[in-house]
Amino acid sequence: MKKELYSSEELQKIDFQELPGSTHDDGGYYTWWVFYKGDSELHITYEYNHDGVFESGYIEFNGEQLKGREITKRDVEFLIELM
């Protein structure tokens, strides 16, 4: 992920819950969000450097990281519908 797909406020509006993040040894940190529906869960993780600048992010569906093309908001909405 090249930039944050959703802001914190947007994630809260679509019922994602913020989980406790953590810091990395180099002073960077990550934030972590989860959406539960049925027996499925969707995680969005954002990683930042020690200056708070976004570096990377990824999305996991039921424990599997989504790979391939760049994931869009529409992709996330579709996964939520499928859940």
pLDDT tens-digit series, residues 42-56 = 999 999 999 999 999
**Which residues, including other chains, have CB under 8 Å from residue 73's CB and lie 6 or more apart?**
5, 6
pLDDT tens-digit series, residues 5-43 = 999 999 999 999 999 988 888 889 999 999 999 999 999
Task: Write down the pTM of the prediction.
Answer: 0.89
CA distance 32 to 57: 10
